[in-house]
A and B are shown apart, each in its own frame.
Chain A
Amino acid sequence: SQTIHQWPATLVQPVGSPLSLECTVEGTSNPNLYWYRQAAGRGLQLLFYSVGIGQISSEVPQNLSASRPQDRQFILSSKKLLLSDSGFYLCALGLAGTGANVLTFGAGSRLTVL
């Protein structure tokens, strides 16, 4: 079965500092990978998704970026954090080629920007 790891679990960063959140998956190859942000413990906002190495699609314009340097690695980055970047960041994977795939989520990374 697929597993997904996210780190760090918790992060406190000052405004203007850089960010790197990492997500790695096991138990599958060529997955679809997703970064979501959850603000105030409610709805999910899709930030980025990837269908393969180096292939990133952005859903919303912002100061965040994503990269997929390896098949099972998905990284969320920022050069300069804003207060509004605070939130709970969730990485998810879906099985490529299956039309009704269930997403498997990581445990999340909670970012507080001060």
Chain B
Amino acid sequence: AQSVAQPEDQVNVAEGNPLTVKCTYSVSGNPYLFWYVQYPNRGLQFLLKYITGDNLVKGSYGFEAEFNKSQTSFHLKKPSALVSDSALYFCAVLSGGSYIPTFGRGTSLIVHP
């Protein structure tokens, strides 16, 4: 079984400040972890993924995420937020051998000018 939790419905941050969107997961075996972003009335877009290797993964638009096996977390981060980063962010997990990812409920990121 696999599951993912995004404990925050909404994250508010001022433009220029660092941002973190939290994600924890549960999976049998080694996890494949993903972050997607959704802008209003659009489909999801892939940001980054962790498969193996370096725990710090860099992705699109200056985002990065850190895989922490002991805490079963995969938090999304960005050093300096932009107003244009405001969107809905989804974490997803996939266990080895499965092709159906489990998505979190999503976290709404609001970046204030």
Contact A43 B46 (CB under 8 A): no
Contact B45 A105 (CB under 8 A): yes
The residue of chain A having its C-beta at the shortest distance from the C-beta of B44 within the complex is A105
Interface of B with A (CB < 8 Å)?
32, 34, 36, 40-46, 49, 51, 88, 90, 94, 96-97, 99-101, 103-106
Contact B100 A43 (CB under 8 A): no
Report the bound CA distance from A102 to B34 in whole Å.
8
Min CB gap B87→A, angstroms: 11
Q: Which residue of A42, A88, A108 contacts B105 across the interface (Cβ within 8 Å)?
A: A42
Q: How many residues of A contact B (CB 8 A)?
A: 25
Contact with B along A66-97 (1 / 0, CB 8 A): 00000000000000000000001010101010
Min CB gap B32→A, angstroms: 4
Contact A49 B100 (CB under 8 A): yes
Residues of A within 8 A of B90 (CB): 44
Contact B103 A100 (CB under 8 A): no
Q: Is A101 an interface residue (CB 8 A)?
A: yes
Contact B105 A103 (CB under 8 A): no
Contact A32 B99 (CB under 8 A): yes
Report the bound CA distance from A11 to B41 in whole Å.
13
Residues of A within 8 A of B51 (CB): 100
